[in-house]
Chains A and B, each alone.
Chain A
Amino acid sequence: MNNFGLDIARLGFPYHHSALSDPCPRVCEAKVAKLEQLKTIGRELAMGSQGGWGQTKEFLDLVKSIGEARSKAEEDRIVLREIDTLRRRLADPDVPRRRMKEYLIRLVYVEMLGHDASFGHIHAVKMTHDESLAVKRTGYLAVTLFLSDDHDLIILIVNTIQKDLRSDNYLVVSAALVAVCKLINEETIPAVLPQVVELLGHPKEAVRKKAVMALHRFYQRSPASVAHLVSNFKKKLCDPDPGVMGATLCPLFDLISADTNSYKDLIVSLISILKQVAERRLPKTYDYHQMPAPFIQIKLLKILALLGSGDKEASGHMYTVLGDIFRKAEHSTNIGNAILYECICCVSSIYPNPKSIEAAAAATSKFLKSESHNLKYMGIDALSRLIKINPDIAEEHQLAVIDCLEDPDDTLKRKTFELLYKMTKSTNVEVIVDRMIDYMISINDSHYKTEIASRCVELAEQYAPSNQWFIQTMNKVFEHAGDLVNIRVAHNLMRLIAEGFGGEDESADSQLRSSAVDSYLRILGEPKLPSVFLQVICWVLGEYGTADGRYSASYIIGKLCDVAEAHLSDDTVKAYAISSIMKICSFEIAAGRKLEILPECQSLIDELSASHSTDLQQRAYELQALLGLNSGAVEAVMPSDASCEDFEVDRSLSFLNSFVQQSIEKGAQPYIPENERSGIVDIGNFKGQYQQEASTHSLRFEAYELPKPSVIPPPTFEPSIPLSATTDLVPVPEPTAYTKDAHRASTKMPSSTDALSADVGVRLRLDGVQKKWGKPTYSSSPSASSSTSSASQNATNGLTHTDGGGGSVSLQTRETSHDSRRQQQAEVSAEKQRLAASLFGASSVAKAEKKPPTAAQKAPKAAAATKEKAATTTTTTVPSTPPPDLLDLGDPTSSDTPLDDPFKQLEGLLGSTAAASPGIINPPAAPASKAPDLMAIFTEAPTGVSHSSIDPGLSEIYSINKSSHIVATKKGPNSQDALQKDATARQVGVTPTGNNPNLFRDLLG
Chain B
Amino acid sequence: MWKISSSSSRSQFRIRRSPPTATLGSLRCVEDIVFEKNCEQERRRKSVGRFGFYFPTMINFVLLISRQGKVRLTKWYSTYSQKERTKVIRELSGVILSRGPKLCNFVEWRGYKVVYRRYASLYFCMCIDPDDNELEILEIIHHFVEILDRYFGSVCELDLIFNFHKAYYILDEILLAGELQESSKKTVARLIAAQDSLVETAKEQASSISNIIAQATK
Contact, CB under 8 Å: A114 / B104: no
Please, how many angstroms separate the alpha-carbon atoms of A63 and B164 in the complex?
Answer: 11
Please, how many angstroms separate the alpha-carbon atoms of A644 and B12 in the complex?
Answer: 77
Contact, CB under 8 Å: B49 / A447: no
In the complex, whether A924 has a CB less than 8 A from a CB of chain B is no
In the complex, whether A916 has a CB less than 8 A from a CB of chain B is no
In the complex, whether B14 has a CB less than 8 A from a CB of chain A is yes
Name the distance in Å between A695's Cβ and chain B's nearest Cβ: 10
In the complex, whether A258 has a CB less than 8 A from a CB of chain B is yes
In the complex, whether A501 has a CB less than 8 A from a CB of chain B is no
Please, how many angstroms separate the alpha-carbon atoms of A775 and B186 in the complex?
Answer: 46
Given contacts A23-B101, A224-B49, 9 further A-B contacts (CB under 8 A): A7-B120, A10-B16, A14-B14, A210-B181, A213-B181, A286-B183, A334-B142, A335-B136, A374-B138
Name the distance in Å between A273's Cβ and chain B's nearest Cβ: 14
Contact, CB under 8 Å: B184 / A286: yes
Contact, CB under 8 Å: A12 / B13: yes
Contact, CB under 8 Å: B199 / A134: yes
Contact, CB under 8 Å: A414 / B108: yes
Contact, CB under 8 Å: B26 / A134: no
Contact, CB under 8 Å: A221 / B162: no
Q: Which of A24-32, A587-595, A891-899 lies at the interface?
A: A24-32
In the complex, whether A223 has a CB less than 8 A from a CB of chain B is yes
Please, how many angstroms separate the alpha-carbon atoms of A213 and B81 in the complex?
Answer: 24
Interface residues of B in 131-152 (CB under 8 A from A): 133-136, 138-140, 142-143, 145-146, 148-149
In the complex, whether B211 has a CB less than 8 A from a CB of chain A is no
Query: Which 3 pairs across A and B sit closest by C-beta, in order of nearness?
Result: A338-B135, A11-B119, A7-B121
The verdict on A49 contacting B162 (CB below 8 Å), with A114-B71, A242-B184, A373-B103 known, is yes
Name the distance in Å between A807's Cβ and chain B's nearest Cβ: 27
The verdict on A21 contacting B35 (CB below 8 Å), with A243-B184, A411-B107 known, is no
Of the four ranges (under 10, 10 to 19, 20 to 34, 35 or more), the interface on chain B belongs to: 35 or more
Instruction: Report A-chain residues with C-beta under 8 Å of the C-beta of B120.
Output: 7, 9-12
Contact, CB under 8 Å: A5 / B66: yes
Which of B47, B109, B187 is close to A285, meaning CB atoms less than 8 Å apart? B187
Residue of B nearest to A224 (CB): B50
Residue of A nearest to B168 (CB): A141
Contact, CB under 8 Å: A294 / B53: no
Contact, CB under 8 Å: B82 / A247: no
Q: List 15 A-B contacts (CB under 8 A).
A: A12-B13, A21-B102, A26-B19, A46-B158, A114-B89, A133-B202, A181-B177, A222-B49, A224-B51, A243-B181, A246-B183, A288-B143, A334-B142, A411-B103, A446-B36
Residue of B nearest to A449 (CB): B35
Interface string of A1-38 (1 = CB under 8 A from B): 00101111111111101001111111000010000000
Instruction: Report A-chain residues with C-beta under 8 Å of the C-beta of B154.
Output: 10
Contact, CB under 8 Å: A334 / B82: no
Instruction: Report B-chain residues with C-beta under 8 Å of the C-beta of A247.
Output: 179, 181-182
Instruction: Report A-chain residues with C-beta under 8 Å of the C-beta of B44.
Output: none
Contact, CB under 8 Å: B158 / A221: no
In the complex, whether A785 has a CB less than 8 A from a CB of chain B is no
In the complex, whether B37 has a CB less than 8 A from a CB of chain A is yes
Interface residues of B in 1-38 (CB under 8 A from A): 1, 10-11, 13-20, 25-26, 28-29, 35-37
Contact, CB under 8 Å: B181 / A209: yes
**Which A residues are within 8 Å of any B CB, using their own CB?**
3, 5-15, 17, 20-26, 31, 42, 45-46, 49, 52-53, 55, 60, 63, 67, 69-72, 105, 108-109, 111-114, 116, 132-134, 137-138, 141, 144-145, 148-150, 169, 171, 174, 178, 181-182, 186, 206, 209-210, 213-214, 216-217, 219-224, 242-243, 246-247, 250, 254, 258, 283, 285-286, 288-289, 293-296, 298, 302, 334-335, 337-338, 341-342, 345, 373-374, 376-378, 408-412, 414, 444-448, 451, 483, 696
Contact, CB under 8 Å: A374 / B35: no
Which of B138, B156, B176 is close to A178, meaning CB atoms less than 8 Å apart? B176
Interface residues of B in 54-90 (CB under 8 A from A): 55, 57, 66-68, 70-71, 73-76, 79-82, 85-86, 89
Instruction: Report A-chain residues with C-beta under 8 Å of the C-beta of B35.
Output: 444-447
Instruction: Report B-chain residues with C-beta under 8 Å of the C-beta of A31.
Output: 19
Interface string of B83-118 (1 = CB under 8 A from A): 001100100000000001111111111110000011
Instruction: Report A-chain residues with C-beta under 8 Å of the C-beta of B28.
Output: 71-72
Instruction: Report B-chain residues with C-beta under 8 Å of the C-beta of A10.
Output: 13, 16-17, 120, 154-156
Please, how many angstroms separate the alpha-carbon atoms of A69 and B71 in the complex?
Answer: 13
The verdict on A213 contacting B179 (CB below 8 Å), with A10-B156, A63-B162, A445-B35 known, is yes
Name the distance in Å between A373's Cβ and chain B's nearest Cβ: 4
Contact, CB under 8 Å: B70 / A5: yes
**Which B residues are within 8 Å of any A CB, using their own CB?**
1, 10-11, 13-20, 25-26, 28-29, 35-37, 39-40, 47, 49-51, 53, 55, 57, 66-68, 70-71, 73-76, 79-82, 85-86, 89, 100-111, 117-122, 133-136, 138-140, 142-143, 145-146, 148-149, 154-159, 161-166, 168-169, 172, 176-177, 179-187, 191, 194-195, 198-199, 202-203, 206
Instruction: Report A-chain residues with C-beta under 8 Å of the C-beta of B195.
Output: 137, 171
Mostly, the A contact residues are helix
Contact, CB under 8 Å: B156 / A11: yes
Residue of B nearest to A214 (CB): B177
Name the distance in Å between B42's Cβ and chain A's nearest Cβ: 11
Which of B106, B143, B176 is close to A213, meaning CB atoms less than 8 Å apart? B176
Please, how many angstroms separate the alpha-carbon atoms of A334 and B79 in the complex?
Answer: 31
Instruction: Report B-chain residues with C-beta under 8 Å of the C-beta of A52.
Output: 1
Residue of B nearest to A177 (CB): B176
Contact, CB under 8 Å: B156 / A9: yes
Question: Number of A-B pairs whose CB atoms are under 8 Å?
Answer: 300
The verdict on A12 contacting B181 (CB below 8 Å), with A63-B161, A112-B74, A113-B71 known, is no
Please, how many angstroms separate the alpha-carbon atoms of A22 and B199 in the complex?
Answer: 41
Instruction: Report B-chain residues with C-beta under 8 Å of the C-beta of A243.
Output: 181-184, 187
Instruction: Report B-chain residues with C-beta under 8 Å of the C-beta of A17.
Output: 105, 117, 138
Contact, CB under 8 Å: A141 / B106: no
Please, how many angstroms separate the alpha-carbon atoms of A412 and B177 in the complex?
Answer: 29
Residue of B nearest to A138 (CB): B165
Instruction: Report B-chain residues with C-beta under 8 Å of the C-beta of A342.
Output: 133, 136
Contact, CB under 8 Å: A12 / B183: no
Contact, CB under 8 Å: A149 / B79: yes
Which of B26, B67, B86, B111 is close to A70, meaning CB atoms less than 8 Å apart? B26
Residue of A nearest to B186 (CB): A285
Contact, CB under 8 Å: B102 / A295: no
Contact, CB under 8 Å: A411 / B158: no
Please, how many angstroms separate the alpha-carbon atoms of A537 and B95 in the complex?
Answer: 37
Please, how many angstroms separate the alpha-carbon atoms of A444 and B31 in the complex?
Answer: 13
Name the distance in Å between B62's Cβ and chain A's nearest Cβ: 12
Residue of A nearest to B113 (CB): A411
Contact, CB under 8 Å: A373 / B47: no
Instruction: Report B-chain residues with C-beta under 8 Å of the C-beta of A214.
Output: 177
Please, how many angstroms separate the alpha-carbon atoms of A46 and B100 in the complex?
Answer: 32
Contact, CB under 8 Å: B85 / A220: no
Residue of B nearest to A49 (CB): B162
Contact, CB under 8 Å: B183 / A288: yes
Please, how many angstroms separate the alpha-carbon atoms of A295 and B19 in the complex?
Answer: 33
Name the distance in Å between A397's Cβ and chain B's nearest Cβ: 18
The verdict on A11 contacting B19 (CB below 8 Å), with A141-B165, A258-B53, A374-B105 known, is no
Contact, CB under 8 Å: A181 / B55: no
Residue of B nearest to A241 (CB): B187
Name the distance in Å between A390's Cβ and chain B's nearest Cβ: 21
Instruction: Find the residue from A11, A171, A409 having the highest chain B CB count within 10 A.
Output: A11
Contact, CB under 8 Å: B73 / A409: no
Contact, CB under 8 Å: B14 / A12: yes
Please, how many angstroms separate the alpha-carbon atoms of A95 and B182 in the complex?
Answer: 37
Contact, CB under 8 Å: B103 / A114: no
Contact, CB under 8 Å: B163 / A53: yes
The verdict on A13 contacting B10 (CB below 8 Å), with A342-B133, A374-B134 known, is yes
Name the distance in Å between B159's Cβ and chain A's nearest Cβ: 8
Please, how many angstroms separate the alpha-carbon atoms of A288 and B216 in the complex?
Answer: 55
Instruction: Report B-chain residues with C-beta under 8 Å of the C-beta of A22.
Output: 17, 101
Instruction: Report B-chain residues with C-beta under 8 Å of the C-beta of A412.
Output: 103-104
Instruction: Report B-chain residues with C-beta under 8 Å of the C-beta of A149.
Output: 79
